[in-house]
Amino acid sequence: MRVLVIEDEPSVASFLKKGLCEASFAVDMADNGVDGLRMALTNTYDTIVLDLMLPGMDGFSILREVRVREVTTPVICLTARDAVDDRIKGLDLGADDYLAKPFSFSELLARIRALLRRGQELHANPITIGDLTVDVVARSVHRGGRRIDLSPTEYSLIEYFARNIGQVLSRTMILEHVWDINHDPMTNVIDVHINRLRKKVDNGFDPPLIHTIRGAGYVLRNDRT
């Protein structure tokens, strides 16, 4: 899952990026409102964490603009402002949630996951395909009743596949959702990680579930169903 954090305080921004990366999110950062709006409009994100007090353009203006442009990405406002009027204004402009500084990172993480679940209401939890089970709340993966230990990137990959069972995912789509904006799309990082994931998810099990679609991308599907 890919998150955009728009935050100008270096210590807060660093803290957020470290925590979100440790939680297996791909994180893009913007330290001013102008760059933040540009990134929100040009890239695909699963959630945006938005500070309201920003140089260049404030968070209220960013909210207004992304909603006018029909960007439906969930937005959590994260700010030192705690006045009721500010919270109401942010929510009226299209924010999905609101946290005042100082905040608990564990609470922010729980709220992000709640927004992601809200956007995936059609998916039950855990997600199952054949004998593979992906629990997106516990962030655990089992196949044939056996727990599969994955790295944070491998888990992000299998969760993205599981949320899109049967859909061919291009390398660009995978890069946008699992890695951050700084990764070079011409490298073989995707192929390397998917090969590692295959060894853990498919080796020793039948049938294989992760398939390569030549010239198109990858898909998670059970060809026996």
- Out of 113-127, 191-205, 211-225, least confident range: 113-127
The answer, yes or no, to whether residue 121 has pLDDT greater than 60, is no
Q: Edge-to-edge strand order for the sheet containing 26-30? A: 26-30, 2-6, 47-50, 75-79, 97-100
DSSP 8-state symbol, 129: E
The answer, yes or no, to whether residue 26 has pLDDT greater than 70, is yes
Give one DSSP letter per residue of 174-203, joined into a string. HHHHHS-TTS-TTSSHHHHHHHHHHHHHTT
Average pLDDT of the chain, as a whole number? 87
Which residue is it, tokens 């005042």? 100
For residues 1 and 155, the answer to whether their CB atoms sit within 8 Å is: no
Query: Is domain 127-220 given the CATH code 1.10.10.10 in the classification?
Result: yes
In this prediction, residue 186 carries a pLDDT of 63
In this prediction, residue 101 carries a pLDDT of 83
Q: What is the pLDDT of residues 49-76, one digit of tens each?
A: 999 989 999 999 999 999 999 898 999 9
In this prediction, residue 35 carries a pLDDT of 96
Query: Which of the four pLDDT bands, split at 50, 70 and 90, describes residue 223?
Result: confident
In this prediction, residue 87 carries a pLDDT of 80
pTM across the whole model: 0.65
219/44: higher pLDDT: 219
Strand, coil or helix: 213: strand
Q: What is the pLDDT of residues 130-165, one digit of tens each?
A: 999 999 878 899 999 999 999 988 998 999 999 888
In this prediction, residue 122 carries a pLDDT of 44
Question: β-strand 140-143 against 146-147: which pairing, if any?
Answer: antiparallel
All structural domains of the chain with their residue ranges: 2-118, 127-220
In this prediction, residue 50 carries a pLDDT of 95
CATH node for 2-118: 3.40.50.2300
119/23: higher pLDDT: 23
The answer, yes or no, to whether residue 180 has pLDDT greater than 80, is no
Strand, coil or helix: 157: helix
The closest alpha carbon to 70, from 106, 51, 46, 94, belongs to 94
- Average pLDDT on 29-54 reads 93
Q: Which of the residue ranges 75-79, 123-127, 173-177 has the most confident prediction, judged by mean pLDDT?
A: 75-79
Q: What is the pLDDT of residues 186-204, one digit of tens each?
A: 678 888 999 999 999 999 8
For residues 144 and 131, the answer to whether their CB atoms sit within 8 Å is: yes
CA–CA separation, 16 vs 101, rounded Å? 12
Question: β-strand 140-143 against 132-135: which pairing, if any?
Answer: antiparallel
In this prediction, residue 13 carries a pLDDT of 92
